[in-house]
């Protein structure tokens, strides 16, 4: 697998975090930010915890998550 640019802010590189989508130039994984938002963290709290990110990164993560569901991708948890 080679590096994939998902959008201006998100990439998947097999050499970084096992290829999970991260914010370009960081090791911050997109799922981490999405889970924080789902838990009720504010964008401001997230930006304080991850100063390398901006509001645009958070918006890009939400758009990416939306596109995954819009395009009918299904992620199955096959663990017992």
Instruction: Evaluate if residue 78 carries a pLDDT over 60.
Output: no
Higher pLDDT pick, 7 / 75: 7
Per-residue pLDDT band at 51 (split at 50, 70, 90): very high
Look at the domain 4-70 and name its fold: Arc Repressor Mutant, subunit A (1.10.10)
- Summarised one tens digit per residue, pLDDT across range 25-38 is 999 999 999 999 99
Alpha helices (H) along 3-77: 30-38, 43-49, 55-70
Average pLDDT, the chain: 90
Cβ neighbours around 49 below 10 Å, total: 13
Task: Check residue 28 and give its pLDDT.
Answer: 97
**pLDDT mean over 58-62:** 97
């Amino acid at each position: 697998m080679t590096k994939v640019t998902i959008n201006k802010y998100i990439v998947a590189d097999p050499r970084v975090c096992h290829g999970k989508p991260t914010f370009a130039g960081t090791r911050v994984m997109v799922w981490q930010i999405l889970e924080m938002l789902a838990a009720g963290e504010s964008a401001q709290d997230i930006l304080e915890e991850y100063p390398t990110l901006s509001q645009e990164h958070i918006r890009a993560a939400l758009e990416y998550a939306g596109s995954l569901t819009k395009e009918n991708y299904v992620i199955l948890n096959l663990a017992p």
